[in-house]
Amino acid sequence: MNFYSTNNPSHKVPLKEAVIKGLAPDQGLYMPEIIPVLTESFYSRLPEMSFADIGYQVISAIFGDDLSEAQVKQLVDHTLAFDAPLVKVEDDIYSLELFHGPTLAFKDFGARFCSKLMSMLMEGESRKVRVLVATSGDTGSAVANGFYKVPGVEVVILYPKGKVSELQEKQFTTLGENISCLEVDGVFDDCQSLVKQAFLDEELNREMLLTSANSINIARWIPQCLYYFYAYSRLPKSDKKLAFSVPSGNFGNLGAGILAERMGLPIDIFVASTNVNKVVPDFLHGNAFQAKASVSTISNSMDVGNPSNFYRLLALYGNDETVFRQKVKGFYFDDADTSRAMQSIKDRTNYIMDPHGAVGYLGLRNLMRMFPEEYIGVFLETAHPGKFKSTVDRVLGIDLELPERLKEFMKGEKKAGSLGNDYSQFKEHLLKKLS
């Protein structure tokens, strides 16, 4: 299968190039040339299938031309090494818990798939790959842990100084080995823009093999569709229509849900739920898409003002804005709304949501209030509440017990260089590190 650029559908490249380049040279995002629709028999068998079996089928449908059956199995087994349970929170409302992986956020799925696929595609190459990652918090930890000690790969993580939680920071700055970190004097969008400039810098690309492990990379993005199939397979039978609400920042996760729907998964509607960084909800309400400076919130992994995957979402709907606006509803919530939802769910059901999941829950509730009794809904719980312990403790007035895995990370010592929000400084750092 070839992959085309959202900026120029006639620019097509094979899998290896799409994964190693990450971003197309014209700055477009790669998209699968064909979106395979899975068979009726696959859909009828879904409820009996294991997560891994679902994974083999879906990944073969997309990557089967390029990878052997054994490679597909290896990739899926490595990626789906932990469960994604569906937990009932209220009548017709389910939380899809995506935080049972090594760094306790959904990004573990994409990062594990991406690191495995990259090392498969790089077999036999003598050159090292350098993975550049901009993170608002959870990508850094998932990618660092996914690539830790992977031979032939070096990871450089850029993150906004003072804008990620201490726990998040510890998860990527304490590893060392092939993982190095730069604290940038700026916001997430500045980190993302530095990384994008590096990918487009011809001189730098002559010197080294650069790639990205952000959700702009198809190897990070595509595997995220798997848990939508799995969640669907575990839902109780219902005559109601199905909604998925996705707490969103860079919009890779929502895009992966739309990909699953385009592959035939019967999802009736998506909710794009955001914090006050609301450029996509604004677009969905009829305005033009307009990137803005990002604003800090308690759901900091979604503090994105210029979401990279927007044009990928549009491409999934055949670049038809009307269809896009019909199939995806957008809502945004401020920190006070988010805190109230966390508190109210805790009081009524004893379920503890992290601030990101709470935004997803709120989006779903809004939809269900607009269309009473019509929907059964799933919101994606994208991180373990312990990852945002200080916020969760403050909002709920508790002292949340941290999972063992998080406590382990807290013991490490932070190692990170500092960087101004300045491309020439970043480039110099990359060139110097090489020698």
Ligand X SMILES: *Cc1c(COP(=O)(O)O)cnc(C)c1O
Q: Which spans of this chain sit near ligand X (rule: CB under 6 A)?
A: 105, 107, 137-138, 215, 247-253, 301-302, 356, 382-383
Closest residue to ligand X in the complex (CB): 138
Distance CA 389, CA 166 (A): 10
Cβ nearer to ligand X, comparing 42 with 159: 159
Q: How far is the CB of 219 from ligand X (least distance, A)?
A: 14
313-316, Cβ contacts within 8 angstroms, sequence gap of 24 or more? 313/251, 313/254, 313/255, 313/258, 314/6, 315/6, 315/29, 315/31, 316/31, 316/35, 316/255, 316/258, 316/259, 316/262
Distance CA 147, CA 315 (A): 30
Distance CA 137, CA 158 (A): 10
DSSP secondary structure code for residue 210 in this structure: E
Distance CA 414, CA 6 (A): 38
Cβ nearer to ligand X, comparing 150 with 167: 167
Q: How far is the CB of 168 from ligand X (least distance, A)?
A: 8
Cβ nearer to ligand X, comparing 346 with 356: 356
User: 82 — phi, psi (to 5°)?
Assistant: -145, 165
Cβ nearer to ligand X, comparing 46 with 107: 107
Q: How far is the CB of 184 from ligand X (least distance, A)?
A: 17
Cβ nearer to ligand X, comparing 267 with 430: 267
Q: How far is the CB of 23 from ligand X (least distance, A)?
A: 16
Cβ nearer to ligand X, comparing 107 with 163: 107
Q: How far is the CB of 176 from ligand X (least distance, A)?
A: 23
Distance of CA 183 to the CA centre of its chain: 21
Q: How far is the CB of 165 from ligand X (least distance, A)?
A: 10
DSSP secondary structure code for residue 66 in this structure: T
DSSP 257-303: HHHHHHTT----EEEEEESS--HHHHHHTTPPP--------SSGGG-
Q: How far is the CB of 224 from ligand X (least distance, A)?
A: 7
Cβ nearer to ligand X, comparing 67 with 342: 342
Q: How far is the CB of 325 from ligand X (least distance, A)?
A: 18
DSSP H or E segment with residue 196: helix 188-200
- Tokens 């805790």 belong to 346
Cβ nearer to ligand X, comparing 89 with 302: 302
Q: Considering only CA atoms, which of 355, 379, 354, 356 is closest in space to residue 366?
A: 379
Q: How far is the CB of 301 from ligand X (least distance, A)?
A: 3
Alpha-carbon distances, residue 317 vs 88, 258, 265 (angstroms): 31, 9, 15
Cβ nearer to ligand X, comparing 13 with 304: 304
Query: Which of left, alpha, beta for 90 (phi over 0: left; psi -120 to 50: alpha)?
Result: beta
Which residues make beta-bridge pairs with 77? none
At 343, which amino acid appears?
Q
Contact present, 311 and 6 (Cβ < 8 Å)? yes
Contact present, 153 and 147 (Cβ < 8 Å)? yes
Q: How far is the CB of 225 from ligand X (least distance, A)?
A: 12
Cβ nearer to ligand X, comparing 72 with 191: 191
Query: Which of left, alpha, beta for 318 (phi over 0: left; psi -120 to 50: alpha)?
Result: left
